[in-house]
C-alpha cells in the first residue's frame, strides 16, 4: 500500500512593495509608449524586487525570503521546526554556490540533524523539490518535509543599465521576472484543509533541442566580455513550445490518473507572463476548472510560482476538489505537473 | 521487504595531464621553498585542471567531463543509455545556472523522457546524489539510475593572479582543488562485481555554526569589489571539525549497521588534502581496513571524490567485502557516509 503524502500548508514571501511598469519606465527613462507595450504584449503589471529599484542595493537575500516563507508555512501547518526531518529546496539563484542556501535557512529556523537538499532548477523546480521530498516520504524514512522554492534576480540587476539601448528581447528580461520564495509542509499524516498529492509528473524533453533559457554565472576570474547578457531567453521557441508542452503534460497527467478535464475544479497553469499564461490557459481548454494565476501581480518568480498559486488555492478549495498544477521549464525543456485532491 | 540497490559500475573523467606543484610554482613565480611548503603542509602532489595553466582558457566544461565519466560508467556496467530512467548529479560548479548541467549531459548521452535532478552540493554531494537516486529506486518507480558528481574550478581560475601577494590561506585554494567528474550506475538488479548499498548516512550539523567554506558567484550586474576572493575557507575550523565529524559519522554508521571496525575491509576517508586525509585516517583508527584515497594525485575534486575512490575500490574488492566511504562538507558542516557490501 502506498503511503499517502499530504501538502499541509503553504507560506510565501515577496520582498517589499509591488513595482509597477510605470515605476520601471520612470527608473530606466523609458517612454509611456514602452509602458503600454509592456501592458499589451507582456501582460505583467507588477513584480516584487529584492533590490532597491533606485540603487540596486540588495535588501533581501534568498535566505531572508526563504526563512519568512518557511516560518509562514510551518505556522500555517501547525508544525514545529523540530518536527521537520527533511528539507528540499529548488532555486536557480542560490545566495552563494556554497553553502547551499537551504542549509542556511535550516540554521535560521533552528532545524538541524536532518537531510537537506538543494536542487539547481528553474520553472519546474518547485515540482522537482516536491517530488524528491515525496519519494523520501514514500520510502517511510521521513514523515515531515519542509519544501521550498524561490528565486531572486538581484545579482542580475544592473542599476547602470541603459535599457533604451537594448533590443526588445533583452528589455523583456527586466520585466518578466520577479523575486519571491514559497514553502510547503509535506507530511504523511493528514490534517484538515490538507491536499493529498495524487500524482507528480516530471519529464525532461531536451534531446537535440537548443536551451530556451540560459543563465550564466561568473566566478573569481570574472568575465567582462559577457557581463550584462547573463540571462538569455529564446522567446520565439518558448512561445511555440511551452503551450504544446503544457497540453502534453495535462494529457499525460489525466491519462495516468484516469481523470477527465471535467473532473478538474482548479487549474494552476504555467506563469511565464500574463499574456503567455492567458494563451496557454486557452490552449489547455479546461473551461469548467477555475484558473488560479499570480503572474500579473508577482511576475515570473521561477521556483516560487507554484507555491504562490497553491497559496491562493488552499483557502478556497473544498474537500474532494481536484486541482492540477502545470509548470514548464524552457531551460532544457522540462514538463512538470502536480495533481492534488483536497482532504 | 526493502528493494536492494546495487552500485554496478563507476566511471570517471579527469581533464588533461596532472599538474604538479613544480608546474604551479613556475607558472605563478613561486619559490622552491613554497613548493616544499606545499609538499609538507598540504600533501597534495598533483591535480588535473580544466583550464590551460598558462592562459586560463577553458578546455573542458563540466558537461564535457560528465559526458565522458557517464559513458565510462555505462560501458562498465553494460547499461545502454536508453535503459537509464533517472539521473541525479551533484556539483557546486554547474556550467551555467540554467540549464542544469545534468540536462545537457542527458542530451549528449541520448537520454530523454526521464527525471533528472541536479543538487547544489559540495564534498558530500556524491553521497547526496546517491541517496536521492537510491530513495527513488526504493519506491519502485525507477530501476536504473545514472548518478554523477563533479566540479571544475575554471571560473575561479584567474591567470593574472599575483599569488605572491596573497596570504597563505588564499594561496592554498589554488593548490587544494582539482577538476573531475565521476559517475556510477545504480540498479535494483544485481550484477557480478556490483556493490550492494547497505546504508547511506547524511546529517546537516550547521546549527549556529559559521560556514567553513563559502563560494560566491556573480551575475550580470557583476561585483568588482569582491572578485578575486570568491572562494573562502576557514582552515582552522576545518582542521578542528572535520576529523571529529568523520569519527562521529563512522560511529553512527557502524552502530546503525551493527558492524564493528574489524568488519571493514576498506575505508574510503574524506579527501581534503593529502595531509588532512592522513590525519583523519589516523583518527578514524580502522587499522585492519585498507585505505583507498586519491587526493594526493587528483586534489580535492569536491563532488567527484567518492567516485574516484570507488573506481579504485571496485576492481580490488572481493565478494563479501565491506567498504565504508566517509565524506564531510565544511560549507555548512554536513556529515555523509556510504556503506557497501560487495556482491
- Of A144, A155, A64, A50, the residue nearest A101 (C-alpha): A64
Contact A181, A147 (CB under 8 A): no
A25 within 8 A of A35, measured Cβ to Cβ: yes
Contacts of A91 (CB under 8 A, 6+ apart): A62, A101, A118, A119, A120, A121, A125, A148, A149, A150, A151, A302, A303, B120
Question: Does the beta-carbon distance from A104 to B231 stay under 8 Å?
Answer: no
**Angle B278-B281-B282 (CA atoms, 0-180°, nearest 5)?**
85
| Chosen from B206, B221, B230, B302 to mutate, greatest number of chain A CBs within 10 A | B221
Q: What is the number of structural domains in chain B?
A: 2
> pLDDT-based confidence at B168, cuts 50/70/90?
confident
State whether residue B180 is helix, strand or coil: strand
What confidence score (pLDDT) does residue A229 get?
64
Give me the residues paired with residue B199 across strands. B339
Residue B91 lies in a domain: yes
Cis peptide preceding A99, ω within 30 of 0 = yes
Residue B172 scores a pLDDT above 90 = no
Q: What's the start-to-end Cα distance of chain B, in Å? A: 19
Tell me the ipTM for this assembly. 0.97
Q: Which residue, among B150, B151, B153, B149, has the nearest Cα to B53 in the 3D structure?
A: B153
Of A112, A215, A221, which is closest to B158 when you measure between CB atoms? A221
- Whether B170 shows a pLDDT value over 80: the answer reads no
For chain A, first and last CA: distance in Å? 19
A23 within a domain of the structure (yes/no): yes
Q: What percent of chain B has pLDDT over 90?
A: 82
- Give me the pLDDT at residue B91, please: 98
pLDDT score of B333? 98
C-alpha cell at B23: 608546474
Query: Of B90, B86, B150, which is closest to residue B119 (Cα–Cα)?
Result: B90
- Rounded to an integer, the average pLDDT of B218-224 is 71
B290-291 and A290-291 as β-strands: parallel, antiparallel, unpaired? Answer: unpaired
Helix (H) or strand (E) holding B342: strand B334-342
**B1 is a domain residue:** no
How far are the Cα atoms of A92, A175, A303 from residue A153, in angstroms, in the given order?
A: 10, 11, 12
CA distance B76 to B185: 9
Per-residue cell: B94? 554547474
Which of B91, B116, B204, B232 should we substitute to test contact with A (largest number of A Cβ atoms within 10 Å)? Answer: B204
How far is Cα of residue A169 from the mean position of the Cα atoms in its chain?
22
- Domain termination residue (choose one: B162, B187, B212): B187
C-alpha to C-alpha distance for B327 and B323, rounded to whole angstroms: 13
**Does residue B335 share a domain with residue B296?**
yes
Q: Considering only CB atoms, which chain A residues are within 8 Å of B227?
A: 220-222
Q: Is residue A77 in some structural domain?
A: yes
B337 with B208, same domain: the answer is yes
Alpha carbon of A331: minimum distance to chain B alpha carbons (Å): 5
Task: Report whether pLDDT(B226) > 60.
Answer: no
Is B318 among the domain residues?
yes
Cβ distance B217 to A217 less than 8 Å, yes or no, reads yes
All residues of chain A having their beta carbon less than 8 Å from the beta carbon of residue B332 are 99-100, 103-104, 106-107
Q: Could you tell me the three cell numbers for B307? A: 567516485
Summarised one tens digit per residue, pLDDT across range B2-21 is 789 999 999 999 999 999 99
Are B122 and A92 an interchain contact pair (Cβ–Cβ within 8 Å)?
A: no
Rounded to a whole number of angstroms, the distance from the CA of A51 to the nearest CA of chain B is 12
Measured CA to CA in angstroms, residue B330 lies from A100, A178, B232, B233, B334 at distances of 11, 32, 11, 9, 7
Residue B41 has pLDDT above 90, yes or no: no
User: pLDDT, tens digit, for every residue of B42-91?
Assistant: 999 999 999 999 998 999 999 999 999 999 999 999 999 999 999 999 99
Helix (H) or strand (E) holding B185: strand B180-187
Nearest 5°: CA angle at B188, between B192 and B125?
Answer: 95
Instruction: Name the domain boundary from A187, A214, A248.
Output: A187
Shared domain for B182 and B216, answered yes or no, is no
| Cα distances (Å, whole numbers) of residue B85 to A203, B103, B112, B140, B283 | 10, 13, 9, 12, 40
* B61 and B68 Cβ atoms separated by less than 8 Å: no
8 Å CB contact of A135 and B131: no
Give the three cell numbers for residue B114. Answer: 526521464
Which whole-number Å values give the CA distances from B143 to B67, B134, B171, in the listed order? 21, 10, 45
Cross-chain residue pair A99–B228, CB shorter than 8 Å: no
- Written as nine digits, the cell of B12 is 570517471
Closest Cβ opposite residue B214 in set A98, A155, A230: A98
State whether B158 and A220 contact (CB < 8 Å).
yes
Q: Specify whether B182 is located in the same domain as B205.
A: no
> What was the pLDDT predicted at B232?
85
Neighbours of B25 (CB within 10 A): 18
Task: Write the CATH number for A142.
Answer: 3.40.47.10
Confidence (pTM) = 0.97
A-B C-beta contacts closer than 8 Å: 231
Closest-CA distance, B343 to chain A, in angstroms, reads 23
Separation between Cα atoms, residue A313 and residue A316, nearest integer Å: 6
**pLDDT value, residue A162:** 86
CB-CB neighbours of A212 under 10 Å: 26
Do B67 and B105 meet the contact criterion of CB atoms below 8 Å apart?
yes
- CA distances from residue B102 to A219, B64, B137, B196, B276 in whole angstroms, order as listed: 20, 11, 19, 25, 31
Query: Do A61 and A178 have their domain in common?
Result: yes
Residue A106 lies in a domain: yes
State the sign of the Cα–Cα–Cα–Cα dihedral B218, A294, A245, A267: positive
A 10 A CB-CB count for B34 gives 19
The verdict on a CB contact (< 8 Å) between B230 and A220 is: yes
B180, B199: one domain: no
In a domain, A1, yes or no: no
- Which residues of chain B lie closer than 8 angstroms to A113, CB-CB? 203-205
Q: Which three cell numbers stand for residue A54?
A: 533606485
Spatial separation of the C-alpha atoms in residues A129 and B149, rounded to whole Å: 19
Residues B177 and B212 grouped into a single domain: no
Tell me which of A131, A153, A187 is where a domain ends.
A187
Residues A246 and A277 in one domain: yes
Q: What is the mean pLDDT of residues B175-203?
A: 96
Asked whether residue B173 carries a pLDDT value surpassing 80, the answer given is: no
Domain that holds residue A85: 6-187
Let me know if residue A160 belongs to a domain: yes
CB contact under 8 A, A103 and B332: yes
Per-residue DSSP letter, A58? B
Q: Give the model's pLDDT for residue A227.
A: 47
- Count of CB atoms situated within 10 Å of the CB of A333: 27
For residues A278 and A256, membership in a common domain is answered with yes
Q: Name residue, grid cell 497553469.
A: A269
User: Do B37 and B150 belong to one domain?
Assistant: yes
Q: Compute the nearest-CA separation of A70 from chain B (Å).
A: 16
Per-residue pLDDT of chain A (343 residues), as tens digits, is: 578 999 999 999 999 999 999 999 999 999 888 888 888 889 999 999 999 999 989 999 999 999 999 999 999 999 999 999 999 999 999 999 999 999 999 999 999 999 999 999 999 999 999 999 999 999 999 999 999 999 999 988 888 888 888 887 778 877 899 999 999 999 999 988 899 999 999 999 999 999 999 999 988 776 654 445 678 888 899 999 999 999 999 999 999 999 999 999 999 999 999 999 999 999 999 999 999 999 999 999 999 999 999 999 999 999 999 999 999 999 999 999 999 999 9
Domain co-membership, B224 together with B334 = yes
Of the partner residues B110, B118, B156, the one whose CB lies closest to the CB of residue A221? B156
Do B137 and B236 lie in a common domain? Answer: no
Amino acid at each position: 500500500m502506498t503511503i499517502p503524502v499530504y501538502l499541509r500548508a503553504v507560506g510565501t514571501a515577496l520582498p517589499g512593495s509591488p513595482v509597477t511598469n510605470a515605476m520601471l519606465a520612470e527608473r530606466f527613462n523609458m517612454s509611456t509608449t514602452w509602458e503600454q507595450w509592456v501592458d499589451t504584449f507582456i501582460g505583467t503589471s507588477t513584480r516584487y524586487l529584492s533590490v532597491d529599484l533606485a540603487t540596486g542595493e540588495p535588501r533581501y537575500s534568498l535566505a531572508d525570503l526563504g526563512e519568512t516563507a518557511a516560518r509562514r508555512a510551518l505556522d500555517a501547518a501547525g508544525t514545529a521546526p523540530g518536527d521537520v526531518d527533511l528539507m528540499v529546496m529548488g532555486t536557480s539563484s542560490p545566495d552563494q554556490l556554497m553553502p547551499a542556501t537551504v542549509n542556511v535557512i535550516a540554521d535560521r529556523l533552528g532545524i538541524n540533524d536532518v537531510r537537506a537538499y538543494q536542487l539547481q532548477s528553474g520553472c519546474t523546480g518547485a515540482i522537482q523539490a516536491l517530488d524528491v521530498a515525496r519519494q523520501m516520504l514514500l520510502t517511510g524514512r521521513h514523515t515531515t518535509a519542509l519544501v521550498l522554492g524561490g528565486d531572486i534576480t538581484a545579482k542580475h540587476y544592473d542599476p547602470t543599465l541603459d535599457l533604451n539601448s537594448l533590443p526588445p528581447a533583452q528589455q523583456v528580461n527586466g520585466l518578466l521576472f520577479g523575486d519571491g520564495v514559497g514553502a510547503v509542509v509535506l507530511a504523511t499524516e493528514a490534517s484538515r484543509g490538507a491536499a493529498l498529492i495524487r500524482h507528480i509528473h516530471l519529464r525532461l524533453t531536451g534531446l537535440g533541442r537548443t536551451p530556451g533559457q540560459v543563465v550564466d554565472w561568473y566566478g573569481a576570474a570574472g568575465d567582462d566580455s559577457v557581463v550584462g547578457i547573463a540571462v538569455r531567453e529564446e522567446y520565439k521557441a518558448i512561445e511555440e513550445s511551452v503551450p504544446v508542452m503544457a497540453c502534453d503534460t495535462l494529457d499525460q497527467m489525466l491519462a495516468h490518473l484516469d481523470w477527465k478535464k471535467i473532473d478538474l475544479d482548479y487549474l494552476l497553469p504555467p506563469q511565464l507572463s500574463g499574456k503567455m499564461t492567458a494563451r496557454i490557459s486557452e490552449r489547455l481548454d479546461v473551461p469548467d476548472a477555475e484558473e488560479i494565476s499570480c503572474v500579473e501581480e508577482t511576475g515570473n518568480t521561477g521556483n516560487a510560482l507554484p507555491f504562490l498559486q497553491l497559496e491562493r488555492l488552499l483557502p478556497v478549495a473544498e474537500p474532494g476538489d481536484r486541482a492540477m498544477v502545470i509548470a514548464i521549464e524552457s531551460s532544457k525543456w522540462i514538463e512538470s505537473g502536480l495533481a492534488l485532491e483536497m482532504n
